[in-house]
């Protein structure tokens, strides 16, 4: 894997009146092969039935790719497995498969989904596609195959038809938003925010589709964005060192880190403030009943309380979607900061804090345990590069 980080952002909105989205998007890093794969599937119809079909399709594709089955072979097997709708004579699910090698060669298979977009050098680059005929229950079906080589700052945008068909039949968009409209919107986004994260861009696209639908989506709408960029490093320091003699080492590593810095823990913050001769300012206006407020220290992005905030951030990141952002919520600020960075280093002090011993809350775990769980979640679900160091 090159030093280019592959940032993948996902956002979705279920059809108006449905509690479950019928689309599924799975992304995974396969470390043994240095590959990143992303699979998007759109189940026929909407609701739970569509969700089951798309989940089955995406899961099959992921399993085949994890076992190093050729991407075209995998797609062909899936095509022959998918049942046909007897009424409409179409497959019960469509899919796009994106397989990114360690040298940033990208192999793509698309079946009956909107053509993905490749944004390179501040313009949409053409993609050469070839077709492969695959029989599906004796009914001809066509796979579209393509290969591109990505470079730093390139983006791939892929989505279900709920995005390009949003606004269909509405004044101003009688034929839907359309691919040309999506391209124009993306150009303006990149012009205004050239370093926008994949997560933020996917959310902007789905939100705009929702606007065109009058906030009542006519179909399940899912968008994925892949952004090839320099990694964004983050240091999270939490917990005092087990030996007080290591306080200066903690401060030295914190000061020397090149990237964004976060402190989780009152005692940790006091140690660093003392060692670095800095002042901590508590923002008592920004807090709520469940989560302690933020503090401020020069050169630090966030200063939060420790255990409660870490546990709550883990809870937020474990959910399907984060709550609406609030500056008053330190745990939500921490969760968003984690998602906005790629190479995340935890510097963990293992001294037991007396406040945690007396904290009467069974949901609050030991610091190292919660950090390990958080690290695993960030690696598996969000494809972050995470390292842990005990001090």
Q: Has residue 126 got a pLDDT over 90?
A: yes
Instruction: Write down which residue in 185, 201, 229 finishes a domain.
Output: 229
Helix (H) or strand (E) holding 371: helix 367-380
pLDDT, position 77: 84
**How many CB atoms within 10 Å of residue 198?**
23
Is 156:97 a contact under the CB 8 Å cutoff?
A: no
Instruction: Identify the weakest region by mean pLDDT among 117-121, 213-217, 305-309, 323-327.
Output: 323-327
User: 68-94 pLDDT, tens per residue?
Assistant: 888 888 888 887 777 666 665 556 789
Which pTM value belongs to this model?
0.89
The helix-helix angle for 178-192 and 198-212 (nearest 10°) equals 130
Question: Helix H segments across 213-351?
Answer: 247-256, 266-276, 307-318, 330-339
| Claim to verify: residue 183 and residue 100 sit in the same structural domain | yes
pLDDT, position 114: 96
pLDDT, position 364: 45
SS3 66: helix
User: 326-371 pLDDT, tens per residue?
Assistant: 777 899 999 999 999 999 999 999 877 665 555 544 434 588 999 9
| Claim to verify: residue 308 and residue 189 sit in the same structural domain | no
The helix-helix angle for 367-380 and 307-318 (nearest 10°) equals 30
User: 306-317 pLDDT, tens per residue?
Assistant: 999 999 999 999
- In terms of residue numbers, what domain contains 207? 5-229
pLDDT, position 90: 59
Read off the pLDDT of each residue in 230-250 and give the average, rounded to a whole number: 93
pLDDT, position 351: 79
> In the chain, what percentage of residues exceed pLDDT 70?
91
Taking the mean position of all CA atoms in its chain, how far away is CA 98? Answer: 15
| Claim to verify: residue 185 and residue 42 sit in the same structural domain | yes
Backbone angles phi, psi at 296, to 5 degrees: -130, 140
| Claim to verify: residue 95 and residue 243 sit in the same structural domain | no
pLDDT, position 363: 39
| Claim to verify: residue 321 and residue 368 sit in the same structural domain | yes
Q: How far apart are the first and last CA of the chain?
A: 29
Read off the pLDDT of each residue in 11-40 and give the average, rounded to a whole number: 94
Whole-angstrom distance, CA of residue 219 vs CA of residue 162: 5
Is 23:12 a contact under the CB 8 Å cutoff?
A: yes
Instruction: Write down which residue in 229, 258, 286 finishes a domain.
Output: 229
User: 129-175 pLDDT, tens per residue?
Assistant: 999 887 655 667 789 999 999 999 999 999 999 999 999 999 889 99
pLDDT, position 133: 84
Is 326:334 a contact under the CB 8 Å cutoff?
A: no
| Claim to verify: residue 223 and residue 237 sit in the same structural domain | no
Whole-angstrom distance, CA of residue 297 vs CA of residue 272: 10
| Claim to verify: residue 173 and residue 291 sit in the same structural domain | no
- Label the pairing between strands 233-238 and 221-229: unpaired
Whole-angstrom distance, CA of residue 261 vs CA of residue 337: 10
Read off the pLDDT of each residue in 105-130 and give the average, rounded to a whole number: 95
Is 228:155 a contact under the CB 8 Å cutoff?
A: yes
Residue 202 has which token pair? 């996917």
Q: Find the angle CA(271)-CA(273)-CA(276) to the nearest 5 degrees.
A: 105
| Claim to verify: residue 259 and residue 201 sit in the same structural domain | no
> Which CATH number do you get for residue 165?
3.60.40.10
Can you name the residues that pair with 295 across neighbouring β-strands? 282, 303
Residue 211 has which token pair? 């606007």
Q: How far is CA 143 from CA 24, 111, 231, in A?
A: 19, 5, 34
Strand spans (E) along the chain: 5-13, 23-30, 35-43, 93-100, 105-111, 117-120, 123-124, 129-136, 139-149, 155-159, 168-170, 173-175, 221-229, 233-238, 260-264, 281-282, 295-296, 302-304, 343-348, 385-390
DSSP 217-235: -SS-EEEEEEEEE---EEE
pLDDT, position 365: 58
| Claim to verify: residue 114 and residue 238 sit in the same structural domain | no
Residue 183 has which token pair? 């391209």
| Claim to verify: residue 194 and residue 321 sit in the same structural domain | no
| Claim to verify: residue 362 and residue 238 sit in the same structural domain | yes
Instruction: Write down which residue in 189, 211, 229 finishes a domain.
Output: 229
Mean pLDDT of all residues belonging to the chain: 90
* Domain total in the chain: 2
Residues comprising the chain, all counted: 391
| Claim to verify: residue 121 and residue 189 sit in the same structural domain | yes
Between 255 and 49, where is the model more confident? 255
SS3 384: coil
The helix-helix angle for 71-81 and 47-66 (nearest 10°) equals 150
User: 246-289 pLDDT, tens per residue?
Assistant: 999 999 999 999 999 999 999 999 999 999 999 999 887 655 66
Is 51:67 a contact under the CB 8 Å cutoff?
A: no
């Amino acid at each position: 894997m090159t030093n280019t980080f592959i940032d993948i952002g996902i956002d979705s909105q279920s059809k108006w009146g449905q509690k479950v989205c019928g689309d599924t998007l799975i992304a995974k890093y396969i470390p043994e092969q240095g590959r990143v794969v992303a699979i998007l599937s759109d189940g026929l119809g909407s609701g739970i039935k569509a969700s089951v079909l798309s989940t089955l399709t995406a899961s099959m594709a992921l399993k085949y790719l994890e076992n190093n089955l050729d991407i075209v072979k995998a797609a062909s097997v899936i095509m022959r497995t998918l049942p046909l709708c007897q009424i409409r004579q179409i497959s019960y699910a469509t899919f796009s498969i994106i397989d990114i090698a360690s040298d940033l060669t990208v192999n793509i298979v698309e079946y009956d989904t909107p053509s993905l977009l490749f944004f390179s050098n501040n313009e949409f680059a053409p993609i050469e596609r070839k077709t492969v005929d695959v029989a599906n229950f004796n009914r001809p079906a066509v796979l579209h195959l393509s290969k591109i080589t990505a470079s730093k700052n390139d983006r791939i945008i892929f989505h279900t038809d709920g995005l390009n068909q949003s606004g269909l039949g509405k004044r101003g968009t009688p034929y839907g938003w359309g691919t040309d409209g999506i391209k124009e919107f993306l150009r303006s986004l990149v012009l205004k925010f050239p370093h926008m994260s994949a997560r933020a861009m996917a959310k902007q696209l789905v939100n705009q589709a929702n606007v065109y639908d009058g906030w009542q989506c006519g179909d399940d709408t899912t968008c994925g964005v892949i952004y090839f960029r320099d990694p964004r490093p983050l240091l999270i320091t939490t917990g005092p060192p087990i030996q007080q003699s290591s306080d200066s080492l903690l401060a030295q590593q914190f000061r020397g880190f090149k990237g964004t810095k976060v402190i989780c823990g009152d005692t940790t913050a006091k140690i660093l403030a003392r060692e670095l001769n800095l002042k901590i300012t508590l923002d008592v206006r920004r807090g709520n009943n469940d989560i302690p407020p933020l503090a401020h220290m020069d050169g630090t992005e966030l200063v939060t309380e420790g255990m409660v905030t870490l546990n709550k951030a883990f809870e937020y990141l474990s959910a399907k979607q984060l709550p609406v952002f609030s500056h008053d919520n330190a745990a939500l600020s921490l969760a968003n900061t984690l998602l906005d960075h790629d190479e995340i280093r935890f510097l963990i002090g293992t001294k037991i804090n007396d406040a945690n011993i007396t904290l009467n809350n069974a949901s609050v775990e030991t610091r190292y345990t919660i950090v390990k769980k958080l690290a695993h979640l960030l690696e598996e679900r969000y494809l972050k590069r995470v390292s842990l160091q005990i001090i």
